[in-house]
Structure 1
């Protein structure tokens, strides 16, 4: 099998409130590549739960492990139901492993989870909670086009309560998607700490990508070769910048992948 042809980079940083109060970052991200498959995961620990920073780290570690294995087994499955099934099966495995690890105190580790699986012929997406994904695919008049994948439903039509891995019937609120578009050459995952910067709301309330933000984030990773120390430092500076802090003082996570140019 060939190797996944994506350059991947990201990080989680503590928000202003947590820096001020000396609290740990409750966001986490992880990625793994195995053969032709890459898996990206981000998680946002519940601010009101005492061990949610541990929960978010556990969630992305489990996601990387279980999704890459499941996707590797089904990498040549056609887009459609088989992909939705593998996403749901991996989510079930993660939930069981998460609850087994955290035991009776599971609610103290509450966290959201958003995952993208990049396979040669399809992109799989699973989310529970309020994370989001932006894709770069295609161009119009020479300008790259950006698209927001649908987000998971709220726990209630009457509230915007966030769903966590430990929520009752979490699988009921989980959302899966399968996208088959060879033009996808950029993927961005984030937690809600970047929602104000990365997304805008249309008249009907549907989120749309902030094209200037997405373009800058992807473009800075488009160059050839490995991710440089300066790219890492620049992303950390952006996530901690006064401009983004003024929009949202929560922890922030940005995990991005761009397709490598073919030789």
Structure 2
């Protein structure tokens, strides 16, 4: 596939590491990511976090980012040229991500159900593929996003610095349970929108294992927590904007004792910086 317009001015760095809880138990990393050119000169950035309580969640997170990829190629086969066209495409993209995920899961389940078992019956449920998804289709200054679950997106602006533009769900929103791509009510909880930002200089898509290590929390009068991107988030973008800094530096950072202590969960980030 040909490169995107995004490729000409931006650098993409990504890393995904198993959390210490999973490492100690010998469990695989259940996060996945995907990034690259899609459609008519646009670029996809996507991360997904498989639910640790489900046996096929790693497979589900891989299908989730693959669904974001396939949906982007469908919806953005022709790049939107107006704000109205971008808004329409963003809504269609959210629907396409869900539909494509359902199709991929069904393809994965069908051969599994056909396998013989000791009882002669193979039962595989959709819920076994439970995963979140955060995807951005970028063609600066336009950024379409789709979020199901507790991923979050930080954008660096110039001027203005880093801002949490797609926050993880609040304490009250997650009081019942995390919404997954396999959840029955996901269509009501999917968060989607279009960001138009001429000053965008950085993007960081993160799974929830990075909430405690990357975000700070302000408490409102009622005690409700409101996460935000601290001022030093700018330094992450600055590091990878520096010529000569290797991509592996992000993996080393996520594997550091500092981040291990912040959360036992898997940690995945796709970062893009304007050169």
Could you say which TM-score interval applies, normalised by the shorter chain? Answer: 0.7 to 0.9
**Cα gap change, 1:133/1:160 in structure 2, threshold over 3 Å: closer, same or farther?**
farther
Tell me, yes or no, if the aligned pair for 2:141 and 2:200 is still in contact at 8 Å. no
Structure 1 residue runs of 5 or longer lacking an equivalent are none
Tell me, yes or no, if the aligned pair for 2:58 and 2:129 is still in contact at 8 Å. yes
Normalising by the residue count of structure 2, what TM-score does the alignment of the two structures yield? 0.83
Aligned to 1:139: 159
Q: 2:96 aligns with which of 90, 93, 96?
A: 90
Q: Distance between the aligned counterparts of 1:147 and 1:108, measured in 2?
A: 34
Per the TM alignment, residue 96 of structure 1 is displaced from its structure 2 partner at its CA by 2.6
* RMSD, aligned α-carbons: 2.3
Aligned to 1:12: 16
**Cα gap change, 1:36/1:6 in structure 2, threshold over 3 Å: closer, same or farther?**
farther
Tell me, yes or no, if the aligned pair for 1:42 and 1:114 is still in contact at 8 Å. yes
Tell me, yes or no, if the aligned pair for 1:152 and 1:173 is still in contact at 8 Å. no
Tell me, yes or no, if the aligned pair for 1:196 and 1:248 is still in contact at 8 Å. yes
Is residue 221 from structure 1 mapped to residue 240 from structure 2 by the alignment?
A: yes
Q: Distance between the aligned counterparts of 1:70 and 1:12, measured in 2?
A: 27
Per the TM alignment, residue 83 of structure 1 is displaced from its structure 2 partner at its CA by 3.7
Aligned to 1:163: 179
**Cα gap change, 1:72/1:244 in structure 2, threshold over 3 Å: closer, same or farther?**
same
Q: Distance between the aligned counterparts of 1:3 and 1:158, measured in 2?
A: 37
Aligned residue pair count: 251
Q: Distance between the aligned counterparts of 1:22 and 1:259, measured in 2?
A: 37
Q: Distance between the aligned counterparts of 2:71 and 2:4, measured in 1?
A: 20
Q: Distance between the aligned counterparts of 2:145 and 2:43, measured in 1?
A: 12
**Cα gap change, 1:123/1:232 in structure 2, threshold over 3 Å: closer, same or farther?**
same
Q: Distance between the aligned counterparts of 1:221 and 1:23, measured in 2?
A: 30
Larger radius of gyration: 2
Per the TM alignment, residue 74 of structure 1 is displaced from its structure 2 partner at its CA by 4.0
**Cα gap change, 1:36/1:46 in structure 2, threshold over 3 Å: closer, same or farther?**
same
Q: Distance between the aligned counterparts of 1:232 and 1:2, measured in 2?
A: 20
Q: Distance between the aligned counterparts of 1:90 and 1:158, measured in 2?
A: 25
Aligned to 1:105: 125
Per the TM alignment, residue 158 of structure 1 is displaced from its structure 2 partner at its CA by 7.4
**Cα gap change, 1:188/1:158 in structure 2, threshold over 3 Å: closer, same or farther?**
closer
**Cα gap change, 1:219/1:152 in structure 2, threshold over 3 Å: closer, same or farther?**
closer
Q: Distance between the aligned counterparts of 1:155 and 1:195, measured in 2?
A: 13
Aligned to 1:187: 203
Aligned to 1:210: 230
